[in-house]
Amino acid sequence: MLNRLIKTALLACASLLAASPAAAMTALDDEELVEHTGEGLAFALDDFRFLMSADSYIEQVGSAVPTNCASVGCTSAGGGGVAGVGPVWTTTVPYNAAAHNPRSVATAGNYFSFVRGDLRWYGLSISSTSNDQTAGNWDGSTCVGASGIDGLGCPRGGYVDNFSPYDNPYVLRAFSYSDILYDGTTGARTVLELLAPTDQPFYRFSFWGETEAGKNVTCTGTACGTRTLKSQSIIQGNAEGSVLRIFQFSNAADPTFGLYYHSFLQGDYRFTVKQVATNDTIGVPVAFDQFEGIHFKNVRAFLPLGQLHYQAITLDDTPAKNGNFFVELTLLPDTAGVYNAHYALNANDVSGYGGSDYTGTGAAVGSGYATALYAVRCPLLNCGASFTVNGVANAARQPATRYATTHGYVRWGDRACNGSSCTAGADDAGGVNTTDAVNDGIFFLGSGYAAATTTFQSFARRPTVISMATGSAVPTWQNSTANGVNRYRVNLGDARIEGLMLHKLRITSLGANL
């Protein structure tokens, strides 16, 4: 009877849809129907800007934990009614703040380390690198016109045109990659991946921070702000080329949730604590000096966390099973099929570190050492067509190699190539930085930079002459204005870390069992 009822209802619906107005609708043809195949989703952002108000924040907090251990989990000595699971504090040894964390007891003279509200990040913003905002500073004061070094003076700008353009959008897609598995064999695995644009304009990421260090635990209210340190961080750059993947880890013994993140960051960074008008009251936005602080310019960093498919970021609990857990970049498997490829230079090379691509000396373009060296150095260094090995120019731009995806780097400053093997290209145009340079590398600016007044000693004051002739060991000191002793700026030069490869990284929490 029920079937007949359903059939009747369906007939009624069919008759409804078959009526004349429906016939006037345009039918989708097969071509249109196959257009969306479901492989991926694209996100394009135009004229984008994200601004938290300057008094909105993200903070680290902690809640009071239950101290009543009279229930099942606490009844047996040593840790609970579940084998190896229960809490440390039991009814016979209850949690006692004075005994277990004496610094946290609200007594005059005791000082918290970090507690609720001690670390706050205010006003997270993503905006353009322009300086055109009449309320660009955190306190609402104007920040218009040339400001700071290359715009690093203003924390907030305008819209970001083409943040992720429609022809280079963020893409979320399912994809199958054939690569090396945990056991060293090759196989295909499906991943869900989020791809950042491969080319993006520089944008500004900024926030101001507040740290309450050593606060007296008996102090309440905003008056405790006398121990507050306020700071500002401004990053102008992008994360183009970064990739996030999630998948089931290929380790047969632990097929758990795996995460892969290859982080590319480039741009400039400034950190400052110099306020225009000092105000240490908690939660009150302030304006910062436009120049003072430590600068890192022309930074490029690549950090590979995980490899398809033999290394992944995973989560697991600690053996004590006391509430703590760890985040781990899994150990590189001790398997020839893995490490010979992991350490190889070229994408298809499985000969490892001692392989022909490392030891070969062939100068011919497109083969052996020359190609491999070029391929390692140049795709991410922007060497252009002028890169030469053994005097032979290599014009072909190579795809990313295995080495280039397993070994990261951090480069502060634009000196990308050393020696005669690298001719001038876009990345080493800056050459060696002068001690006054403010356009490259790592440098400090004093608050007197704008007025060119000396505000700090950049180097130790060195003795120039130590004479024993007079019977005195008092040296002759270097002139206080010579050679950059009293200064308002100093450049420390460029620095590089190369070959940054993480064999294993594990971060274990301890806080769940305090």
Partner 1 sequence: MNVIRSMVLFLGYLLSGAVLAGMSPMGERELGSVTGQEGAALDLDLYINAELNANGNPQPLVSLSSCAGGTPTQPNPCFLGLSFNNRTGEWITIKDFYATLRMFDVFIDAANINPAATTYQNPGMDRFEADNSGTGRCLVDGSLGGCGLDVLDNRPALKLSFRPHASPLITAASYRDISWFMNIGRVSAEYDCAACGAGGIQRFGYQLDQATGSVLGLRIARVPAAAAPAELRAAAIRVDGNMLFFGF
Applying the rule CB under 8 A, the residues between 93 and 132 that interact with partner 1 are: 95, 116, 132
Q: Is 29 in the site for partner 1 (CB under 8 A)?
A: no
| d(C-alpha 231, C-alpha 155), whole Å | 12
User: Of 44 and 217, which has the nearer Cβ to partner 1?
Assistant: 44
CB of 241 to partner 1, least distance (A): 11
Tell me: does residue 147 bind partner 1 (CB under 8 A).
no
- CB nearer to partner 1: give 317 or 436: 317
Whether the Cβ atoms of residue 131 and residue 146 lie closer than 8 Å to each other? yes
CA distance 268 to 132: 19
Among 55, 91, 98, 393, the residue binding partner 1 under the rule CB under 8 A is 55
Instruction: Pick between residue 124 and residue 276 the one whose CB is nearest to partner 1.
Output: 124
Sorted by sequence, the CB contacts under 8 Å of residue 36 that are 6+ apart come out as none
- Asked whether position 44 contacts partner 1 by CB under 8 A, the answer is yes
Least distance from partner 1 to the Cβ atom of residue 447, Å:
25
Residue with Cβ nearer partner 1 (68 or 472)? 68
Residue 406 Cβ vs partner 1, minimum distance, rounded to whole Å = 18
Chosen residue from 76, 104, 141, 162 binding partner 1 by CB under 8 A: 162
Q: How many CB atoms lie within 10 A of CB 314?
A: 19
Cis ω before 309 (30° cut-off from 0): yes
Q: 425-464 burial, b if ≥16 CB within 10 A, otherwise e?
A: bebbebeebeeebbbbbbbbbbbbbeeeebbbebeeeeee
d(CA 307, CA 249): 10
Between the CA of residue 334 and those of 144, 403, 504, what are the distances in Å? Answer: 57, 18, 12
Is residue 36 involved in binding partner 1 (CB under 8 A)? yes
Nearest by Cα to 462 from 476, 451, 446, 447: 476
Which range touches partner 1 (CB under 8 A), out of 64-72, 291-299, 350-358, 484-492?
A: 64-72
Taking CB under 8 A as the rule, does residue 91 contact partner 1? no
Give 403's strand partners.
none
Binding mask 229-248 for partner 1 (x = CB under 8 A): -------------------x
CA-wise closest residue to 114 among 511, 393, 390: 511
Rounded Cα distance between 146 and 296, Å, is 19
Residues 395-454 that bind partner 1 (CB under 8 A): none
Candidates 149, 180, 191, 195: give the one binding partner 1 (CB under 8 A): 195
Backbone angles phi, psi at 376, to 5 degrees: -70, -45
Please name the residue ranges forming H helices in 331-427. Answer: 336-342, 356-359, 368-377, 402-406
How many residues interact with partner 1 (rule CB under 8 A)? 109
135 near partner 1 (CB under 8 A): yes
Among positions 40, 337, 379, 384, the unique one binding partner 1 when judged by CB under 8 A? 40
Region at 67 (left for phi over 0; alpha for psi -120 to 50; beta for the rest): alpha
The least CB distance from residue 366 to partner 1, in Å, is: 19
Say whether residue 24 binds partner 1 (CB under 8 A). Answer: yes
Among 205, 225, 292, 321, contact with partner 1 (rule: CB under 8 A): 321
Rounded distance between C-alpha atoms, residue 55 and residue 497, angstroms = 37
Residue from 80, 153, 293, 368 in contact with partner 1 (CB under 8 A): 80
Q: Does 60 bind partner 1 (CB under 8 A)?
A: yes
Q: How far is the CB of 302 from partner 1 (least distance, A)?
A: 19
Q: By CB under 8 A, name the one of 97, 98, 146, 315 that touches partner 1.
A: 315
- Rank residues 24 and 277 by Cβ distance to partner 1 and give the closer one: 24
Contact region with partner 1 (CB under 8 A), list: 255-263, 349-357, 411-419, 493-501:
255-263
Quote the least distance from Cβ 48 to partner 1, whole Å. 4
Binding status of residue 28 toward partner 1 by CB under 8 A:
no
Instruction: Give me the 334-373 binding string for partner 1, x by CB under 8 A, dash otherwise.
Output: ----------------------------------------
4-23 positions binding partner 1, by CB under 8 A: 4-5, 8-9, 11-13, 15-16, 18-21
Q: Does 379 bind partner 1 (CB under 8 A)?
A: no
What is the token pair recorded at 464?
Answer: 């120039």
Task: Determine the interface stretch with partner 1 among 53-61, 102-110, 268-276, 435-443 (rule: CB under 8 A).
Answer: 53-61
CB of 3 to partner 1, least distance (A): 12
Of residues 73 and 352, the one with the C-beta less far from partner 1: 73
- Alpha-carbon span 246 to 192, nearest angstrom: 5
d(CA 145, CA 130): 8
Q: Does residue 62 bind partner 1 (CB under 8 A)?
A: yes
CA dihedral 275, 281, 282, 283 (to 10 degrees): -70
CB of 434 to partner 1, least distance (A): 33
| Position 156 contacts partner 1 (CB under 8 A) | yes
- Quickly count: other Cβ atoms within 10 Å of residue 471's Cβ: 6
Q: What span, in angstroms and rounded, lies between the C-alpha atoms of 374 and 169?
A: 29
The phi and psi torsions of 428 (rounded to 5 degrees) equal -115, 25
Q: Which tokens in the block code for residue 293? A: 């602080």
Give dist(CA 476, CA 289) in Å, integer: 37
Among 153, 197, 267, 446, binds partner 1 (CB under 8 A): 197
